[in-house]
Amino acid sequence: MTSGKCRIKKYTYGTPFCTDAVVEQTAAGEGSPSFITELDNGFTYQMTPSDAVYGLGENVRGINKRGWHYVSNNSDEPNHREDRTSLYASHNFIIVDGRERFGLFIDYPGKLTFDIGYTEHNTITITAEDMNFDLYVLEGGSLKEIVQAFRHLIGRSYIAPKWAFGYGQSRWSYLTADEVREVVRKHRENHIPLDSVYLDIDYMERFKDFTIDEEAFPDFACFVEEMKKQHIHLVPIIDAGVKIEEGYDVYEEGVEKGYFCKEADGTDFVAAVWPGLVHFPDMLNPDARKWFGHKYKVLLDQGIDGFWNDMNEPAIFYSEKRIADAIDRVQEFKGKNMDLTTFEEFKAVTGTLSNNAEDYSSFYHNVDGKGTMVCHDKVHNLFGYNMTRAAGEAFEDLEPDKRILMYSRSSYPGMHRYGGIWQGDNLSWWSHIELNMHMMPSLNMMGILYTGADLGGFGADTTEDLLLRWLEFGIFTPLMRNHSAMGTRRQEVYRFESMEAMKKIIGLRYGLLPYLYSEYMKAALKDEMYFRPLAFDYTEDAFAAKVEDQLLLGDGIMVAPVYEQNAEGRYVYLPEAMKLVKFRSLTERTEEILPAGHHYVPIALDEVAVFIRPNHVLPMSYGGECVDEVDFSTLQLLGYVTDTAVYEWYDDDGYGKDYDNPANYSTFVVKADGNLEVKSEKKLNITVSL
Ligand code: MIG
Could you tell me if the CB of 424 is within 6 A of ligand 1? yes
Tell me which residue of 236, 238, 242, 323 sits closest to 282, measured CA to CA: 242
Given the CA of residue 486, which atom of ligand 1 is nearest to it? Answer: 5
Question: How far is it, in rounded angstroms, from Cα 556 to Cα 384?
Answer: 35
Ligand 1 lined by 77 (C-beta under 6 Å): no
Among 661, 660, 666, 567, residue whose Cα is nearest residue 607:
567
Q: Ligand 1 in contact with 241 (CB < 6 A)?
A: no
Residues of the chain with pLDDT > 70, as a percent, come to 100
pLDDT over 90 (residue 429): yes
Nearest atom, ligand 1, residue 458 CA: 4
pLDDT given for residue 27 in this prediction: 85
608-640: per-residue pLDDT in tens?
Answer: 999 999 999 999 999 999 999 999 999 999 999
**Looking at residue 4, what is its pLDDT?**
75
Give, for 676, the enclosing helix (H) or strand (E).
Answer: strand 676-679
Ligand 1 close to Cβ of residue 172 (< 6 A): yes
Give me the amino acid identity at 2.
T
Query: Does 239 sit in the ligand 1 pocket, CB within 6 Å?
Result: no
- Give me the percent of the chain exceeding a pLDDT of 90: 98
310 lines ligand 1 (CB under 6 A): yes
User: What's the 422 CA to ligand 1 centre distance in angstroms?
Assistant: 11
| CA 311 to ligand 1 center in whole angstroms | 7
Atom of ligand 1 nearest to the CA of 425: 3
Residues 481/436, Cβ–Cβ less than 8 Å: no
Atom of ligand 1 nearest to the CA of 201: 2
244 lines ligand 1 (CB under 6 A): no
Residue 3 pLDDT: 61
| Helix pair angle (249-257, 286-295), 10° resolution | 170
What single letter denotes the amino acid at residue 685?
N
pLDDT of residue 183: 98
Q: pLDDT of 213-231, one tens digit each? A: 999 999 999 999 999 999 9
What do you get for the CA distance between the two ends of the chain, in Å? Answer: 44
Residue 182: what pLDDT? 98
CA 205 to mean position of chain CA atoms:
28
Decide: 176 and 182 in contact? Cβ < 8 Å: no
Is the distance from the beta carbon of residue 305 to the nearest atom of ligand 1 less than 6 Å? Answer: no
Residue 402, pLDDT above cutoff 90: yes
Q: How confident is the model at residue 1 (pLDDT cuts 50, 70, 90)?
A: low
**What is the distance between the alpha carbons of residues 424 and 468, in angstroms, rounded to a whole number?**
20
Q: Find out whether 9 and 26 touch, Cβ atoms under 8 Å.
A: yes
Element holding 444 (H helix, E strand) = helix 431-445
Q: Is 201 in the pocket of ligand 1 (CB under 6 A)?
A: yes
Q: What is the pLDDT of residues 50-106, one digit of tens each?
A: 999 999 999 999 999 999 999 999 999 999 999 999 999 999 999 999 999 999 999
Q: In what order do the strands lie in the sheet with 451-452?
A: 451-452, 420-422, 405-408, 306-310, 233-239, 196-199, 167-169, 480-482, 454-455
* Alpha carbon nearest to ligand 1 atom 13, residue: 172
Kindly state if the Cβ of 200 falls inside 6 Å of ligand 1: yes
Q: How far is the CA of 170 from the centre of ligand 1 (A)?
A: 11
Tell me, in angstroms, the distance from the centre of ligand 1 to residue 310's CA.
7
Mean pLDDT of the chain: 97
* Burial (CB count within 10 angstroms: exposed 0-12, middle 13-18, buried 19+), residue 28: exposed
262 lines ligand 1 (CB under 6 A): no
Q: How far apart are CA 56 and CA 95, in angstroms?
A: 9
Q: What span, in angstroms and rounded, lies between the C-alpha atoms of 620 and 606?
A: 20
Q: Which residues pair with 664 in a beta bridge?
A: none
Closest CA to 531 of 542, 541, 516, 546: 516
Q: Per-residue pLDDT averaged across 530-549, rounded?
A: 97
Grouping H, G, I as helix, E, B as strand and the rest as coil, residue 527 is: coil
In tens, the pLDDT along 353-379 reads: 999 999 999 999 999 999 999 999 999
**Cβ 618 vs Cβ 186: under 8 Å:** no
Answer yes or no: are the C-beta atoms of 281 and 288 closer than 8 Å: yes
Maximum distance among all alpha carbons in the chain? 86
Whether 2 shows a pLDDT value over 90: the answer reads: no
List phi, psi (to 5°) of 453.
-105, 165
Across 39-52, average pLDDT = 97
The phi and psi torsions of 5 (rounded to 5 degrees) equal -90, 0
